[in-house]
Every structure is written in C-alpha cells, then in structure tokens.
C-alpha cells in the first residue's frame, strides 16, 4: 500500500507547532532522509514511540523539530507511522510535506489515516465516526457523546448482542438437527435471548430521541405579557446587557436570538414581543413571530409579573400553552406584591434563582441526562438498530407458528444489521462516504 503524507494540524492558520504525519512501509525511510538527531546515527535505529529532538532539512529550509516513530502494528493506522513536529509556520509545513512527496510519499486523501486504521482492524467503523464527530463537536455534550462512540461504547453493546444472537442461533440449529430429540427448554432459551436482545436494542434506539438535543441544543422561548421582564431575564441568563430594557411596555418588537452553554449543552434563548392584542402593525408582526417561535421551541418559559395584579390576559397565555413543554416562572420576586402559582420565582435584578432556572430548563427538556448515558446521534446507526429490531420483532411474533429455520432467517438478518454498525457488513461505498467527512491528515 502507498505511503501517505499530510499535515495533521490545522492547515488554516499558523500555530506554535505543526505536525506532518506519514503512514506506510516507506514512512521511516522517507523521514530518515529529512530528519537527523545527535542521539542516533540513523533514524532507522529509532526506538518506537520515543520522541527525538533534532533537525529537519528540506531543499529550501531547516528547522528544529521532534520526530516520533510508531512501528506497525502498534500505531494509529496499524502501519509504520512517523510524525514530524516542527514549528507551525505555513512555509515550514508546506516544505516538509513537499519534501516527503518528492521522496515517494503520496498526498493523503481526507480521512485516509483513519480509513487505514479501520481496514487494519485498529478501530470499528462506528468508532471512526466518533472521531470525526469529536473533531466537529460544537458543545461539550456533543463532544462527550462523540467520545463515547469513539471509545467503543456502542460497539461493545453491539458485540454483546451479536454474541447473544449467535447463541440463540446455536439453539435453533440444535432444534433443526435433532427435531425429534429436541427439548422444549432449548427453544425457550432461544426465545428468551431474542426478547433480551430486543429490549437492549430498544433502549439504545430510544436514546436517539435525544440526538437533536446533543447536535442542535435546546431552543427556549421566553414569553409573557409586555413588561413581564422577558428581556431582563434574557440579559440575566446571558450575564450581558444584550436586550434593551425599559419600563415602557412593548419595547421588544421582534424575536432576539442568543446562545449560551450550560453544563455542556447549548441553550438557544429567544426573547419575544409581549403577547397581547394590538392595533400597531409592527407590534402585531412581533406578536405573530413570538407565537411562531413558541411553537417551534423545545420549551417555553412563561413569565408572570409578581409586582402587578394577575389579569385575564395572563391567565389566557398560560391556558393557551398547557400542551407545550413549559416552565411557569414568576418574575420580579424582589418586588413581589401579588404572588403567583409558579414552578420557580426569579429576579433578574438581583439574580435570584437564575442558575436554578437554567438547571430546571435542562431537567425539563431531558438535557440534564445527556452526560450520563450514550445517545445515538448518527442516522446510519439508528437505521441499522431499527432494522435489527424489526427482524427480532418478526422472530418474536412468529416464533410459535413457524419452524426454527424461519426464525433463524430473522436472527441472521438482525445480526447483519448490527454488523453494519461496526463495519463488518458494509460495502466500500459506505465507508468511503464516511471517511470523506474527515479532514485531510486525520
């Protein structure tokens, strides 16, 4: 297989350190022509996984650098790998890569290092997908789920369920080979395994309902009557004077979007116009946009102003969104004169219960649990798990009415679907598409 080379650090901006990675049988010979160190007569004598300080020399420049050699198969790709770590200037990195190519290496394709790791059995396909998800993560919650995938948490569950289905198939094979002598408990054991695996896969599948929380975050709309303290709450949550706040009702005429991260989860906050009937054409548009935002939100925080008497309009707002996931919050608790029945009392002015409100938002939306369990976030995995579940459901429902070989067909279909997750049962087109998501050098 060709020896490949690419920059492993960001090609966009210069940094303190730049890494050039080589993988393949000629990685060490190529690197030995560029790198020299006082510790060794030749780089061929390098100890695996030891970092050496020396000099990189190309046709156009020299630089002090480190070099590390990982001998196959104990490397990222499973092949001989050499990493050259120089200063991160763009000119330096380009010169090193060009020199490696001139010495016989080929520019690596996007994701080709990880693709070789997969092909050489160093990682499963789902773990490789976890790597690209981790690199592209936009929040701590997304990074944590990517790490779970990369570290083999899903693969471990898949392998365990595959092993159980293999055992169930073995029991069915006994029933086929010895139909007259077969004991009933052999078939019962197979059915028990089918039920057990189905429940396991169902739990994994149901986790996918939270994938939008991981990838996109939570959209929370702050709603209520004019002057209920919506913009003040937005500012308090952001700890920044983002929205204009006055005592004049109806100051906010449009939806205002801001994002913050809480306990690893992104929360998209939407400040809205006060919900009331108005003849002002601009305010009417703002109210319409507020209602649209509420309908598309994961959660709505309905504010009730505790400093003024409750009105019919306030009660109407609460009644209108009874079917929506919501939090009723009494605002202006520091000036409370007319207490309200609410889930929480807050004060944007002195910060009372603002942090508690954020935690309540995470709890109400289910985001508080994201760090404690794995969530299926990739459509490919969700489809494969659902396919396996459908096959097992068929096996369960028809178990008592069909011969063992028919049940075995369903179990093999389930096994093939599970094998697709880890990459044992996928064609080259599928994994080529997956690795094309990677950047060059990974």
| First-residue to last-residue Cα distance in the chain | 18
The secondary structure of 215-239, three-state, reads HCCEEEEEEECCCCCHHHHHHHHHC
Q: What is the pLDDT of residue 366?
A: 87
Nearest to 303 by CA among 353, 267, 263, 369: 353
Nearest to 408 by CA among 419, 421, 418, 399: 399
Nearest to 82 by CA among 16, 33, 131, 123: 33
Residue 246, token pair as written in the block: 């006055």
Give the lowest-confidence range in 109-118, 193-202, 205-214, 385-394. Answer: 205-214
pLDDT digits (tens, 9 = 90+) for 219-233: 999 988 988 888 889
Q: What is the pLDDT of residue 181?
A: 53
Residue 248 has pLDDT above 70, yes or no: no
Q: What is the pLDDT of residue 238?
A: 87
Q: What is the pLDDT of residue 393?
A: 96
pLDDT bucket at 157, cuts 50 / 70 / 90: very high
Residue 216 has pLDDT above 60, yes or no: yes
Give the lowest-confidence range in 34-38, 194-198, 250-254, 332-336. Answer: 250-254
Give the lowest-confidence range in 10-24, 67-81, 335-349. Answer: 10-24
Q: What percent of the chain has pLDDT over 70?
A: 93
Give the lowest-confidence range in 150-154, 387-391, 425-429. Answer: 425-429
Q: What is the pLDDT of residue 177?
A: 60
pLDDT digits (tens, 9 = 90+) for 327-370: 999 999 888 888 889 899 999 888 899 999 999 999 999 888 87
Q: Cα(285)–Cα(291) distance, rounded to whole angstroms? A: 10
pLDDT digits (tens, 9 = 90+) for 398-407: 988 888 889 9
pLDDT digits (tens, 9 = 90+) for 268-289: 999 888 787 776 777 778 878 8
Q: Cα(381)–Cα(430) distance, rounded to whole angstroms? A: 12
Q: What is the pLDDT of residue 391?
A: 96
Mean per-residue pLDDT of the chain: 88
Mean pLDDT of 234-262: 73
Q: Cα(207)–Cα(144) distance, rounded to whole angstroms? A: 15
Q: Cα(202)–Cα(388) distance, rounded to whole angstroms? A: 10
Q: Cα(31)–Cα(50) distance, rounded to whole angstroms? A: 15
Upstream peptide bond of 315 is cis (omega within 30 degrees of 0): no
Single pTM value for the model: 0.79
Sign of the dihedral through C-alpha 71, 77, 82, 83:
negative
Q: Cα(240)–Cα(258) distance, rounded to whole angstroms? A: 11
Q: What is the pLDDT of residue 285?
A: 81
Q: What is the pLDDT of residue 429?
A: 78
Residue 291 has pLDDT above 60, yes or no: yes
């Amino acid at each position: 297989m060709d020896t490949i080379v690419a920059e492993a650090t960001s090609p966009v901006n210069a940094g303190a350190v730049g890494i050039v990675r080589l993988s393949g049988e000629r990685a060490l010979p190529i690197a030995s022509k560029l790198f020299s160190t006082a510790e060794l007569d030749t780089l061929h004598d390098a100890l695996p996984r030891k970092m050496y300080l020396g000099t990189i020399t190309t046709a156009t420049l020299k630089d002090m650098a480190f070099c590390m050699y990982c001998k196959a198969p104990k490397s990222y790709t499973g092949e001989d790998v050499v990493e050259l770590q120089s200063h991160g200037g763009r000119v330096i990195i380009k010169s090193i890569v060009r020199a490696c190519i001139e010495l016989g290496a080929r520019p690596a394709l996007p994701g080709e290092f990880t693709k070789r790791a997969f092909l050489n059995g160093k990682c499963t396909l789902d773990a490789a997908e976890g790597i690209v998800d981790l690199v592209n993560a936009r929040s701590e919650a997304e990074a944590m789920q990517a790490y779970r995938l990369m570290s083999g948490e899903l693969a471990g569950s898949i392998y365990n369920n595959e092993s159980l289905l293999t055992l169930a198939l073995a029991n069915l094979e006994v029933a086929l080979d010895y139909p007259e002598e077969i004991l009933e408990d052999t078939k019962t054991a197979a059915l028990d395994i089918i039920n057990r695996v189905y429940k396991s896969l169902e739990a994994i599948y149901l986790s996918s309902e939270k994938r939008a929380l991981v990838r996109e975050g939570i959209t929370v709309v702050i709603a209520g009557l004019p002057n209920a303290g919506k913009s003040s709450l937005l500012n308090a949550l952001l700890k920044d004077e983002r929205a204009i706040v006055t005592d004049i009702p109806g100051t906010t005429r449009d939806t205002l979007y801001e994002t913050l991260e809480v306990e690893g989860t992104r929360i998209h906050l939407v400040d809205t116009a006060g919900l009331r009937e108005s003849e002002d054409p601009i305010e009417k548009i703002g109210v319409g946009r507020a209602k649209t935002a509420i309908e598309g939100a994961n959660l709505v925080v309905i504010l009730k102003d505790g400093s003024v008497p409750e009105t019919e309009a306030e009660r109407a707002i609460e009644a209108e969104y009874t079917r929506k996931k919501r939090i009723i919050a009494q605002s202006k608790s520091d000036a409370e004169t007319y207490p309200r029945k609410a889930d929480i009392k807050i004060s944007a002015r002195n910060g009372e219960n603002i942090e508690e409100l954020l935690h309540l938002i995470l709890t109400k939306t289910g985001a508080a649990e994201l760090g404690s369990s794995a969530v299926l976030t990739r459509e490919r995995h969700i489809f494969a798990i659902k396919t396996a579940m459908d096959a097992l459901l068929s096996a369960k429902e028809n178990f008592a009415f069909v011969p063992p070989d028919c049940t075995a067909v369903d179990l093999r279909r389930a096994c093939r679907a599970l094998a697709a997750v880890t990459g044992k049962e996928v064609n080259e087109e599928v994994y080529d598409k997956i690795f094309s998501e990677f950047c060059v050098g990974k």
